Amino acid sequence: MAATAVAVAYVVSYRLTDVDLGRLANGLSTMGGWAAKAWPPTAREFSVILQRTGETVAIALIGTTLAAVIALALCVPAARNLTPAWYLRLPARLVLNTLRGVDSFVFALLFVAAVGLGPFAGMLGIAFHTSGSIGKLFAEAIEGLPPGPLEAAELTGASRLKTVSYAVVPDALPSLASVGLYMFEFNIRSSIVLGVVGAGGIGQQLRNSIELLDFPRLLTIVLVILVLVTVIDQFSGRLRKSLA
Amino acid sequence: MTPTPALSAPTLEVVNLSHAYGTRNVLDGVSLGVAAGEVVAILGTSGAGKTTLFRCITRLVHADTGSVVLGGQDLSGLEVGELRRARRNVSLVFQQFNLVRRLSALDNVIAGHLAELPTWRVVARRPGPAVRADALDCLDQVGLADHARSRADRLSGGQQQRVAIARALAQRSRVVLADEPVSSLDPSSSATVLAALRSIAHSERIAVLCNLHQVELIRGFADRVLGLRSGKLVVDVAASDFDESHRALVYGEREPSPRP
């Protein structure tokens, strides 16, 4: 019964995605032609490319940091062991799920309309979506803490704020930092794409190059992006290992 | 260091405490008292009601009937704010130590002052030199001043428990409740931990009520021994008077036949 349903889903989806191997073959050979024209990569206007790449990193950095601040505020009411009251916890979870559910890209589009083209819209898009993802991960990290130390702190007669600050933060901090770094890595890649809709960063350059069929420039940009992503991943990965 | 607000009669009294989970009577009319500076051990099998008794005393569980009187103050009817203040007078030592793993021994002991420290000091993690010095002193009293800067999870079980005792000491409470404090420890560490507990009880005039899993541990540790069996208090004697018949009462073994 289930197997049939799955089979049907696949058949229908295959039709809907308009798969056409002939078109793929043609397209690949066209791209092959482009690849030939792309070499060697050009150093023309390299400073502009670097500037836009810097913008991309800035969008990811500020956006992720702002997201972490928002998430910190929301994760305490969202964690079951800190907030047993469902009427506080469920709304917090709902907000987090909504933020997480709407992609950075969609938020960025909305913000471009609201605050204009440029990296500010991109940063806000990243911040809003990421706060949902980070908030959920933060809440789960907190829920995974051993209950004993928190109970011990509560029983000294201290207030909620003091016990959370004292007993939760030190043990949760490494997980929280690790989550933040992971999302920063992820957002570098997200921010690259945002430029395509005018929300700042290298994405705009990428799109221009393709539309103008300027393949050497396209290759340059792709190489710069590869280097950026590799460097960030390495750096962030090492930091996260040292936190474990 | 100012002690917690003075209590008129610094003892712990439990009066006719009863509590049931569903139809099962976990505590049945338990009454006991602990005087300042006295070490009272509670023996009993698992399920005899020892942990429930403690949870009722700290009001983590609201007992069905009976009352808990701490220094003349009845804890039963207190509101949240008053209960919080009253809790300052009871400190706990847990079987699982319950230290904050990543904090140093010293920072864990400072937790004893959590209730009285201003919130900003706690959040900014700046307790101030007086509190730090006091915490170091408490660690010294349990013989761990050298390990003040060590991370809690790098210490041995016995050391962690002694840090927990130092934390209880720092709280300047009049009562310490120790819930099976040495059940996770080897015999040698157990002896050290219980000695530390006894020492602070006598030197600081603290009333210590301690759940113990093994009868042998009361020797050289307890001043008085209570025995719980199926929720009832069946033994209440001075430690020096505790003998085989009392042991049999607590653990339900056959009574030894009277000697001819």
Q: Quick check: is B98 in a domain?
A: no
Domain boundary, last residue among B172, B188, B209: B172
pLDDT digits (tens, 9 = 90+) for B189-232: 999 999 999 999 999 999 999 999 888 899 899 999 999 988 88
* Domain of A79, in residue numbers: 45-243
A198 confidence band (pLDDT: 50, 70, 90): confident
Q: Quick check: is B18 in a domain?
A: yes
* Domain of B114, in residue numbers: 104-172
pTM score: 0.77
- From CA A179, how far away is CA A135, in angstroms rounded? 10
CATH number of B57's domain: 3.40.50.300
Q: Quick check: is A100 in a domain?
A: yes
- From CA B73, how far away is CA B11, in angstroms rounded? 10
Helix (H) or strand (E) holding A39: none
Mean pLDDT of all residues in B75-98: 88
Provide the shortest C-alpha distance from residue A144 to chain B (in Å). 14
Mean pLDDT of all residues in A214-241: 92
Look at strands B12-21 and B65-70 and give their pairing.
antiparallel
Residue B235 CB neighbour total at 10 angstroms: 20
Mean pLDDT of all residues in A30-44: 88
Q: Report ipTM for this prediction.
A: 0.81
Choose among B86, B114, B119: nearest Cβ to A153. Answer: B114
Q: For residue A192, what are its two tokens? A: 């690259």
Asked whether residue B237 carries a pLDDT value surpassing 50, the answer given is: yes
Give the position of tokens 């972490």.
A68
Which residue type is seen at A107? F
Q: Please give the tally of structural domains in chain B.
A: 2
Residue B179 CB neighbour total at 10 angstroms: 21
Q: Quick check: is B2 in a domain?
A: no
State the average pLDDT for chain A: 91
Q: Is B19 in contact with B28 (CB distance < 8 Å)?
A: no
Q: What is the pLDDT of residue B213?
A: 87
Q: What is the pLDDT of residue B152?
A: 93
Q: Quick check: is A229 in a domain?
A: yes
Q: Please give the tally of structural domains in chain A.
A: 1
Which residue type is seen at A226? L
Indicate the Cα dihedral angle A176, A180, A182, A183, nearest 10°. 130
Q: Quick check: is A19 in a domain?
A: no
Test B117 with A162 for CB contact under 8 angstroms: yes
Give B83 or B257, the one with higher predicted confidence.
Answer: B83
pLDDT digits (tens, 9 = 90+) for A155-173: 898 888 898 889 888 888 8
CATH number of A51's domain: 1.10.3720.10
State the average pLDDT for chain B: 87
Q: For residue A89, what are its two tokens? A: 């916890």
Provide the shortest C-alpha distance from residue B162 to chain A (in Å). 15
B190 plus B70 within the same structural domain = yes
B227: nearest Cα among B213, B62, B219: B213
Test A148 with B88 for CB contact under 8 angstroms: no
Asked whether residue B2 carries a pLDDT value surpassing 50, the answer given is: no
Q: Quick check: is A78 in a domain?
A: yes
Q: Is B88 in contact with A157 (CB distance < 8 Å)?
A: yes
Q: Is B227 in contact with B44 (CB distance < 8 Å)?
A: yes
Asked whether residue B1 carries a pLDDT value surpassing 50, the answer given is: no
